[in-house]
Amino acid sequence: MTNKKNQFPKTMVVITLIIVGLVIATFYSLTRNDAVAPTNEFEEIPNIEGQPTLGNEGAPVTVIEFGDYKCPACKAWDESIFPLLKESYIDTGKVNYSYINTPFHGEESVLAALASESVWDQDPEGFWNFHKEVFQQQPDVQNHDDAWITPEKLIEIAEQVNVNVDLDQLMNDIVNQTYVDEVLNDQAQVEKFNVSLTPSIFINDTMVEDPFDYDTIVKLIEENLEENERE
């Protein structure tokens, strides 16, 4: 398996560059002067079919994070806001939470996204331990630009958290980009909903202006819960 890990087909590099090119192009198109502001109400909720989802599937409110495993702000949100949300709303069945890969930080982000899709497919329950640990392994902000996400590192993380996955299959899925279509589908959602920053947080069809403003998140959740009760 050691030799296998170090073999990277040329197709992997080519496809990765294509994905990264799409991500970079989207990022710059959304951050021009005529870009849509990062707070908005949309006519529909981002599509979470097939996305990693935690909590009651029938919950009246959906919280969606557009996130990047290499993004320091996403790590901070996962450590500070997500636990509050989970305790008060996800664990109580009022809200479900979904994560959509938004690989704005280049090839490493794409590798993590591909690995996460494989883990989600193989072990949905264990996925969340993997998800959390990838953020935990992120270097501090001062070393943010250091290269650290590799296929080997992702396998190491999967081993550390004891997810119920076939590690050879996980490596194969990363190297051969088995889930490239899922990552491209996520990218389509990024474009459709004018996501230009990570993390971007949706409460149903509304993008929160400041993802770290927990009071506003609670207000929007409660308003949606009340509306659901009236219907």
pLDDT for the residue numbered 187: 95
pLDDT for the residue numbered 9: 53
> Residue 215: is it exposed, middle or buried by C-beta count within 10 angstroms (0-12/13-18/19+)?
exposed
Weakly modelled stretches of the chain, pLDDT under 70: 1-39
Q: What is the pLDDT of residues 102-138, one digit of tens each?
A: 999 999 999 999 999 999 999 999 999 999 999 999 9
Instruction: For 162-198, give one letter per residue: b (16+ CB within 10 A) or e.
Output: ebebeeeebbebbbebbbbebbebbbebbeebbbbbb
Domain boundaries, the chain: 2-230
Q: What is the pLDDT of residues 27-55, one digit of tens each?
A: 444 433 333 334 588 999 999 999 999 99
Per CATH, the number for 2-230 is: 3.40.30.10
